[in-house]
């Protein structure tokens, strides 16, 4: 059913971007497009020349103007098309402006992020400087530790050499102890042999002492006999037979002492 005049005006007065007016006749489509173009032209912010040019195609003719219907429809339709194009261009401009604003906001955000990143980089550089100083201090401490380790290694080498010398000295002392122990055993054997010889000499001494006492008794008797002989016949001294027998001293007595040498040689005898 074809739209009424009321429906035609209501549809042309609405700002519905989905409206196409395809169900209207060509002449009614031109009128509807003109009404929509007039409303959009009031909303557009154009320069005076395009505004005047478009409005001239949409306005009614004056009383002193006359023109054919086809001419008026063509101008109105052309103006409607021009307004539509301008509206699309305005939307594109708004989108571009919005995009520019968004780009500006994005750039501002990026700049803020860059500023924050620069601040973070400054903090990082400060931390890097601190880490570099710490590394330098650590390097110096490591060099000091290396120097100390070299001193410790030298001390250990000297201590090792001293220990080796002490071990060598102890080995020599052990060898000397072994030698002294062997020498002690040899001397103990020699002392034992000398003790034995001393015992033999003591026994020989006792024998000589007994012989000396016996011989002294004989000498005393001889001296008494000599005294008696000097008295003469008038003063005789009688000597018993046993005493005369005791004056017989007999042959001399020899005492042999056995001495044992410590070098394994055969024993020798001393008179």
192-221 confidence digits (pLDDT tens): 888 998 888 888 888 888 888 888 888 888
Question: What's this model's pTM, rounded to 2 decimal places?
Answer: 0.36
What pLDDT does residue 163 have?
92
**Closest C-alpha to 45, from 101, 79, 93:** 93
103-125 confidence digits (pLDDT tens): 788 888 888 888 888 888 888 88
What pLDDT does residue 236 have?
54
What pLDDT does residue 252 have?
47
Q: Is the pLDDT of residue 256 over 50?
A: no
Lowest mean pLDDT: which of 119-128, 163-172, 250-259?
Answer: 250-259
Whole-angstrom Cα distance, residue 19 to residue 35? 13
What pLDDT does residue 233 have?
55
- Residue 27 φ/ψ, nearest 5 degrees: -70, -40
Could you tell me the pLDDT band of residue 147, with boundaries at 50, 70 and 90? confident
Could you tell me the pLDDT band of residue 227, with boundaries at 50, 70 and 90? confident
Asked if 71 and 56 touch (Cβ cutoff 8 Å), the reply is no
The domain spans of the chain are 5-116, 200-270
6-28 confidence digits (pLDDT tens): 777 777 777 666 777 777 887 77
Whole-angstrom Cα distance, residue 117 to residue 130? 19
């Amino acid at each position: 059913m074809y739209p009424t005049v009321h429906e035609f005006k209501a549809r042309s007065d609405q700002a519905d971007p989905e409206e196409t007016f395809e169900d209207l006749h060509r002449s009614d489509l031109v009128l509807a497009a003109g009404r929509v173009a007039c409303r959009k032209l009031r909303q557009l912010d154009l320069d005076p020349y395009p505004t005047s040019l478009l409005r001239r195609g949409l306005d009614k003719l004056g009383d002193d103007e006359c023109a054919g219907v086809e001419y008026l429809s063509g101008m109105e339709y052309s103006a409607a098309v021009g307004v539509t194009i301008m509206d699309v261009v305005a939307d594109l401009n708004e989108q571009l402006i919005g995009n520019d604003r968004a780009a500006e906001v994005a750039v501002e955000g990026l700049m803020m992020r860059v500023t924050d990143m620069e601040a973070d980089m400054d903090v990082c550089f400060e931390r890097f400087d601190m880490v570099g100083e710490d590394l330098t201090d650590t390097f110096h401490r490591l060099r000091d530790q290396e120097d100390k380790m070299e001193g410790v290694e030298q001390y250990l080498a000297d201590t090792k050499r001293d220990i080796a010398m002490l071990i060598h000295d102890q080995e020599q002392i052990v060898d000397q102890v072994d030698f002294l122990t062997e020498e002690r055993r040899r001397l103990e054997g020699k002392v034992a042999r000398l003790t034995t010889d001393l015992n033999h000499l003591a026994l020989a001494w006792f024998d000589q002492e007994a012989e000396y006492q016996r011989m002294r008794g004989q000498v005393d008797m001889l001296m008494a006999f000599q005294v008696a002989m000097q008295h003469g016949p008038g003063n005789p001294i009688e000597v018993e037979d046993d005493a005369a027998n005791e004056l017989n001293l007999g042959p001399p007595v020899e005492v042999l002492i056995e001495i044992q040498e410590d070098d394994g040689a055969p024993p020798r005898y001393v008179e």
